[in-house]
Amino acid sequence: MARGIPHHVIRYFEAVPMFGSVSKAGIRALIQAATEVDLPPGKDVVREGDTDQDLFVIIEGTLRVSRRGRRIGDLGTGDFFGELAFLSRGQRTATVTTTSQTRLMVLGARDFRSVVEREPKLALQVLEAAATRLRELDRRSL
């Protein structure tokens, strides 16, 4: 990411529930640890069953979330995904596919853990956000 972090990127990270009470310095550390990626429409960002552990914040664009081939939701600018696989070090619980030109910030698990060591509050916030997201996914798949 460029030396100066755009204000809208900071706002999107601050709006992610698990980053809500993280200090400004912590938010900046998360953003600086992330990688910016541009993707075309129709690209699978993550696939259900895969074992990668990245966390994603959507800077621009729209994405479809599906489970077992069935659409269960949509994501857009300012949303995030990937926290369940990160926390559990397990398989992805859904496939997420771009539906428009999309810009993401990708935070790798190792980089995320490094930031968590400096911002301990973040660990509890991640757990709370993951529990909420899991409940939402279960409700949508019924």
Confidence grade of residue 39 (pLDDT, cut at 50, 70, 90):
very high
pTM for this model (two decimals): 0.79
How far apart, in Å, are the Cα atoms of 49 and each of 9, 39, 64, 90, 99?
29, 21, 16, 8, 21
Q: Which of 41, 8, 42 is CA-nearest to residue 27?
A: 8
Q: What is the pLDDT of residues 102-140, one digit of tens each?
A: 999 999 888 888 888 877 777 777 777 767 767 877 787
Q: Which of 98, 31, 26 is CA-nearest to residue 60?
A: 98
How far is it, in rounded angstroms, from Cα 122 to Cα 81? 16
